[in-house]
Amino acid sequence: MKNILIAFAAAATLFNTPFISPPAQADDHKDTIQTVQAGEHAERVIMILPDGIRAGHAYPVLVAPGDREPSKPMFFWGDEPSKLGWVIVQTPYLYGGTKAQLQDMLDGITAKLAQKDIVVEGFHAIGWSANSSSVSKNVADMPGAFASLSLIPGSGGNSTARKLCKQDSMRVLFITGSRDRGWLSGAERMRDQLQECGAEHVTFEIIKGGGHVLKEISGDPLFKMLNGNRK
């Protein structure tokens, strides 16, 4: 427990608050701030589109935690996120909204992309550190909304694991640093719960020498794992 508390405190310091993304590497990202109509509300989000979009082609959409006032892409996407082949959207609704609000956001993203003649292949949720429990719970509470859940690092509670087990096609990916002892234990516990209740698509990646903030997997290394988790 002491190790978990220390790791949590370190994460809160780096991430400013438990739910706010740390700054990205570049300074000017105004072109990535888009407005999405989520139900009755127009919400500003970070939205990154892949280069060389083909009209009518289906792309995977990664939904990630975002700031209330969007400013910069998360550093996990690397220096050239538009070259990763994904649509990436950062929204606070993933961890801080109701199920209805999150569904409205997903519907709004679909409509926004349709305006650009982009088809949603599937929604994939990702969470990290202090927001991971809320992200996991929202995914578990919305069967059919998301194709996968990735936690870098992170875990969820017992009821979350049981609900995820009922989603037959759900794919769960854990990525944790070998030196991040507290979070590694939590991820292992959730992995074991998922496997015990019959989850068939659980992948567990340990980054050798990695700490809590896994900047070393940013960009291509992370998305290689995310692509593997889609299959």
Average pLDDT on 27-47 reads: 86
Alpha-carbon gap, residue 3 to 100, rounded angstroms: 36
Strands 33-38 and 58-64: unpaired
Report pLDDT digits (tens) over 20-36.
Answer: 444 444 444 557 999 99
Q: Give pLDDT, residue 29.
A: 53
Describe the crossing of helices 132-140 and 158-165 by its angle, rounded to 10 degrees.
40
How confident is the model at residue 13, as a pLDDT? 38
Domains present along the chain, CATH in parentheses: 2-230 (3.40.50.1820)
CB 180 within 8 A of CB 7: yes
Average pLDDT over residues 119-129: 97
Which tokens go with 103?
């569904």
CB 206 within 8 Å of CB 123: no
Q: Using pLDDT thresholds of 50, 70 and 90, give the confidence band for residue 6.
A: very low
Q: Is the pLDDT of residue 17 over 70?
A: no
pLDDT at residue 24, rounded to an integer: 42
| Bridge partners, 224 (sequence order) | none
More confident residue, 92 or 27: 92
* Cα 226 to Cα 210: distance, rounded to the nearest angstrom: 18
Residue 89's DSSP bridge partners are: 47, 63
Question: What tokens were used for 36?
Answer: 């999405």
Q: Is the pLDDT of residue 53 over 60?
A: yes
**What is the chain's mean pLDDT, rounded?**
89
Q: What average pLDDT does range 61-79 have in this prediction?
A: 94
Give the model's pLDDT for residue 8: 41
Quick one: average pLDDT of 93-109? Answer: 96
Q: Which two tokens stand for residue 153?
A: 């690092």
> pLDDT tens digits for 155-179?
999 999 999 999 999 999 999 999 9
The pLDDT value recorded for residue 30 is 58
pLDDT of 105? 98
Q: Is the per-residue pLDDT at 184 higher than 50?
A: yes
Whether residue 209 contacts residue 178, with contact meaning beta carbons closer than 8 Å, is answered with: yes
Tokens linked to 171: 């794919």
